[in-house]
Amino acid sequence: MSTFKAPKGTYDLLPPDSATYLAVREAISAPLRRAGYGYVETPGFEQVELFSRGVGESTDIVTKEMYTLTTRGGDQLALRPEGTASVLRAALEANLHKAGNLPVKLWYSGSYYRYERPQAGRYRHFSQVGAEAIGAEDPALDAELIILAVDAYTSLGLTNFRLLLNSLGDKECRPAYRAALQEFLRGLDLDEDTRRRIEINPLRVLDDKRESVQRQLVGAPMLRDHLCEACKEYHERVRELLTAAGVAFEDDEKLVRGLDYYTRTTFEFVHDGLGSQSAVGGGGRYDGLSEMIGGPALPSVGWALGVDRTVLALKAEGVELQLPAPTQVYAVPLGEEARRALFGVVTELRRAGVATDFAFGGKGLKNAMKSANRSGARFALVAGERDLAEGVVQLKDLESGEQRAVALDTVVGEVLSAQG
């Protein structure tokens, strides 16, 4: 056993569980790739200012949860706590928005870091798959991304997730609502941290999960009553497109999410089987973020879905993914000459697309066959000196127990045929 352990609030992904995480990432990204989203990868750390400007200096993510470090050169860096700001920064730096084909559609997958109190479904290191559509203001784009997320969850077999939907307005109508909300909140009995939030970002108070706060929010002014006509029309169009696509949603007038950059459409996917950490993903429109980080006006929309939370949702529903066996054929050589011959066959099988493993370490027949069974392989290839003298190997079906001799030079074709 190692002297060292994974840092508190983090985890290691190891077989066989890691196969489920890979399958979830693949399922989430597949609809995106079919919709024209290209893959982007960004550094695991960025300048602190990218997140303080974009995510918001008043957010818990920036004030309490961000891992920061100072380089030897004195630069202030932060481990990325979310993906949108990094992806938009990368797109702007590469001038993708100047290629003349907007929106720029990107998807990404990776690890993110927040200093939080560890609990089930909430880690200091977590995995997400995200998507961003940069440079277009179109309700159909908002609806597209939401539908792609729903399709991803559905393809995994999830059924007990819900979509919450809201509009946060824009720079035209939100200031009046902000003032009305601040006036209401100032009259409540709130702690000092929450009172400071009233002055910086009062919408975040609506997202406070504490019962003592939620009780006092009854009767608070709602954004829907302050939306300008343009935002009302935009939001209604998103709702119509989702309904036409057969996507069920719940209007949630208190949904604001935890990041400052959202405007207009905002949404969250929740799963009731996960307890307090019920959010499995979410996102929204962020039309002003590009200007916040020094870029041109680029209305955009995106989401991030938690891989960890999605895996927990699958477990909560008892959904077992149908994963391909990591090994289809297991080669068992008996003797040095057989090792050389079967090793060559293993290489051929792998090059033909067949997942094949080998009994390394000179195992005897009994131990080697135990390893073959533990590997989950469908077939075992067994060869000894007598087999090689006859130019054959023994192909054993580990499910039925049937065994037959096949010519050494036809093994690949026989295995492919036997697999159907």
Task: Give the residue numbers of the binding site.
Answer: 82-84, 114, 128, 132, 257, 261-262
Residue 402 · residue 388 · CB < 8 Å = no
Contact status, residue 280 vs residue 269, Cβ threshold 8 Å: yes
Q: What is the CA radius of gyration of the chain?
A: 27
Strands of the sheet with 279-285, listed across from one edge: 38-39, 104-113, 125-134, 300-306, 279-285, 263-271, 161-167, 250-251
Measured distance CA(164)–CA(142) in Å, rounded:
14
Residues paired with residue 102 on neighbouring β-strands, in sequence order = none
Cα 22 to chain centroid, rounded: 10
Q: What is the DSSP letter of 89?
A: H
Q: Per the annotation, where are the binding residues for L-histidine?
A: 82-84, 114, 128, 132, 257, 261-262
Closest CA to 361 of 329, 332, 319, 395: 332
Rounded Cα–Cα distance for residues 202 and 263 (Å): 14
